[in-house]
Structure 1
Amino acid sequence: MNLKSNNVRIIDFGLLLAVAAVVCQIGFCSESPKAMKLGGLRNTVQNSLEIDDIGRFAVQEHNKNQNSLIEFGRVVDAKEQLVAGKMYHLTVEAVDGGQNKTYEARVWVKPWMNFKQLQEFKEVDDNHPITSSALGVERGH
C-alpha cells in the first residue's frame, strides 16, 4: 500500500510540473510589457512645464559649469528613464553666439529629495549627415 501511494504522489507531482510548464509556455509567467520597460527609455511629453523647466535647468547648469552664455529656446524631444529617480534625455534648441544650435542633455531628477543634476550636455553635430560609410556599410555587402 505504501508503494502504491508513492506512485500516486509521483504521478500527481509529474502532472503538476506538466501543467506549470504549459502555463509558463503560453505566457502567464512571462513579464508584462510595462515591467520589461523598467530602466528603458520611453517618450514623454516635451511641451509640458516640467520638461521645459528641466531643459532650462540643463542650459543654466551648462552655462554655470562652462562659463557660457547659451540661451534656452525650447525642448524638441524628451525621453525619460526610470532609475533611482528619473533620468531625462532631452534634445534642446538654444542660441549660442547668435546662432541656433541643438544640444542633447541628460538630467537626473529625484523629486522627493529636491535633487536635480546635469549629467551631460553636448552639441548635436548637424553639419555631418549620416552616410553609409559612417554606418560601416561597404559596397558589395
Structure 2
Amino acid sequence: MAKLQTLISFSSLFLLFAVTTALDGERVGSKTPIENVESNKEVQDLGKYCVQEYNRQMQQKGNGGKLLMFSHVVEAATQVVSGTKYYLKISASTHGRGGAKTFDVVVVVKPWMHSKELLKFEPSPTSINTK
C-alpha cells in the first residue's frame, strides 16, 4: 500500500511539472519577451488599437484635450492567461504638443471571443522620449 501511495504521489508531481512547463522550458504563465517588436505588424497594430481605445475612453470621460497620437510599440511581452495578456511599452505624443513619451500598457486579447480589453494605460516611470 505504501508503494502505491508513493507511486501516486510521484505521478502527481510529474504530471503537475509537465502541465506547468512549456516545451522550451519556460513556465506557463510567465512573461515572454517578443523579439523584433518594431517590425512585428501584429504587435504594432495592437499598440495602435490601445491608443485608440485610450482616446475613446478619455472622450467618454469628457477629457478629450489629452488625446494621444500613436507612434510605435517600443517593447512587448506576452503572458498566457485566459487569453493572452500583452505588456506593451508604447511611444505616443499628445496631439500638437511636441515629442513622444512612453506609456506602459496592458491589454488582454481573447481571439475566440473576438475581444480585447485594455487593463492599464499610464505614463511609463522609465519614459523614453522619442522623436
Shared fold (TM-score, shorter chain, > 0.5): yes
Distance apart, 1:48 and its partner CA: 1.1
Give, as a single letter, the amino acid of the residue that structure 2 aligns with 1:74.
H
Hey, which bits of structure 1, 4+ residues long, moved more than 4 A?
Answer: 13-18, 27-30
Question: 1:94 aligns to what?
Answer: 92
> C-alpha root-mean-square deviation of aligned residues, in Å?
2.8
SS in 2 for 1:53: helix
Output the CA distance in 1 between the equivalents of 2:82 and 2:74: 25
Question: 2:118 aligns to what?
Answer: 118
Match 1:60 to one of 52, 56, 77: 52
Question: 2:109 aligns to what?
Answer: 109
Alignment deviations for residues 28-58 of structure 1 (CA, whole Å, 9 cap, x no partner)? 6661431862222111232311111110011
Q: How many residues align?
A: 112
SS in 2 for 1:39: coil
Q: Within 5 Å, which residues of 2 pair with 1:1-141?
A: 20=7, 24=10, 31-32=17-18, 33-34=21-22, 37-45=27-35, 46=37, 47-66=39-58, 67=64, 68-96=66-94, 97-126=97-126
Distance apart, 1:112 and its partner CA: 1.4
- The 3 A distance-change label for structure 1 pair 28 and 94 is same
The farther-off stretch of 81-90 and 29-38 is 29-38
User: 1 or 2 for the larger relative contact order (CA 8 Å, sep ≥6)?
Assistant: 2
Distance apart, 1:14 and its partner CA: 5.7
Distance apart, 1:69 and its partner CA: 2.2
Distance apart, 1:99 and its partner CA: 2.0
SS in 2 for 1:99: coil
TM-score by length of structure 2 reads 0.70
The farther-off stretch of 39-48 and 108-117 is 39-48
Output the CA distance in 2 between the equivalents of 1:104 and 1:72: 13
The farther-off stretch of 75-84 and 65-74 is 65-74
Distance apart, 1:16 and its partner CA: 6.3
- The 3 A distance-change label for structure 1 pair 14 and 64 is closer
Output the CA distance in 2 between the equivalents of 1:95 and 1:81: 27
SS in 1 for 2:17: coil
